[in-house]
Amino acid sequence: MATGRTSAEFTAALRARERLIGYWSLLDSPIAAERLARIGYDYLAFDAQHGLFGYQGMLGNLLATDTKGSTAVGMVRVEANDPTYIGKALDAGATAVIVPLIDSAQDAADAVAAVRYPPLGRRSYGPMRAQLRIGPDPAGTHEQTAVLAMIETADGLADVEEICATPGLDGIYVGPSDLRLAIGGATSTDPSVQEEFEQALARISKAAEAAGIAAGIHNADGASAARRLAEGFTFASVAADIVHLQQVATSHLDAARGAH
């Protein structure tokens, strides 16, 4: 089993473009998060944008991630590029935030500003839980927390090199479903735009590498995550608990029915 990292160690590894693997959570189940955090993943990402929980759920799952035996830090995809949402996730103890729908370098700069305290940014001071595990002082907080910009829109793809060059941005994160739609896919898995999709991923990965920041991507399964890491992405999420619950339950049902 992998050994757990502190927030400072995780953020340093992320910024150094070390390989990191995480798990994506949509369900409000701290008990499940506690178990997932002990498997060996480097991070658990809690989806506050599309996930099935509110602030209390986010807080409870972050608490569960930090229990004894955990190998993971908690990460949150926030609802929007908004200082309130970003600040609440960080105050609750998230080591990193993934900010959705980044269309431009200005959007990325706004996200960075929401993560950093003055004079580097505009985060409001009130680390209610974060002060207990990351530290109350701004300098230590900046060292230990990361901000990731999602590349998932046509505008974001067109401006990806400028986004990646944004001062203070720690990495980018590909939302493949929205990105596939953005390049003309009829559905989030439309195979007819696969070539264009792969070209877009190559461009995004190259832009992050050139800027010296982390490059992450969302994946349906571990095999896909391994492929993207081999292609140059530096961190990858395996998604997601609600999907895998259905898949495993279905496989057991099929096996049980086949036994009669």
Q: What positions carry a catalytic annotation?
A: 50
Sign, CA dihedral 124-17-172-1, equals: negative
* Nearest C-alpha neighbor of 115 from the set 147, 76, 149: 147
* C-alpha to C-alpha distances, 131 to 94, 134, 136, 154, nearest whole angstrom: 11, 6, 4, 38
| Distance in angstroms (rounded) separating the CA atoms of residues 116 and 146 | 10
CB 166 within 8 A of CB 154: no
Q: For 189-214, b where at least 16 C-beta lie within 10 A, e where not — what string?
A: eeeebeeebeebbeebbebbbebebb
Residue 191: enclosing H or E segment and its boundaries? none
On the question of a cis peptide bond just before residue 119, with omega within 30 degrees of 0, the verdict is: yes
- H helix runs in the chain, sequence order: 7-15, 30-36, 55-65, 83-91, 105-115, 130-133, 138-144, 154-158, 160-164, 176-182, 194-211, 222-231, 241-258
Residue 74: enclosing H or E segment and its boundaries? strand 73-77
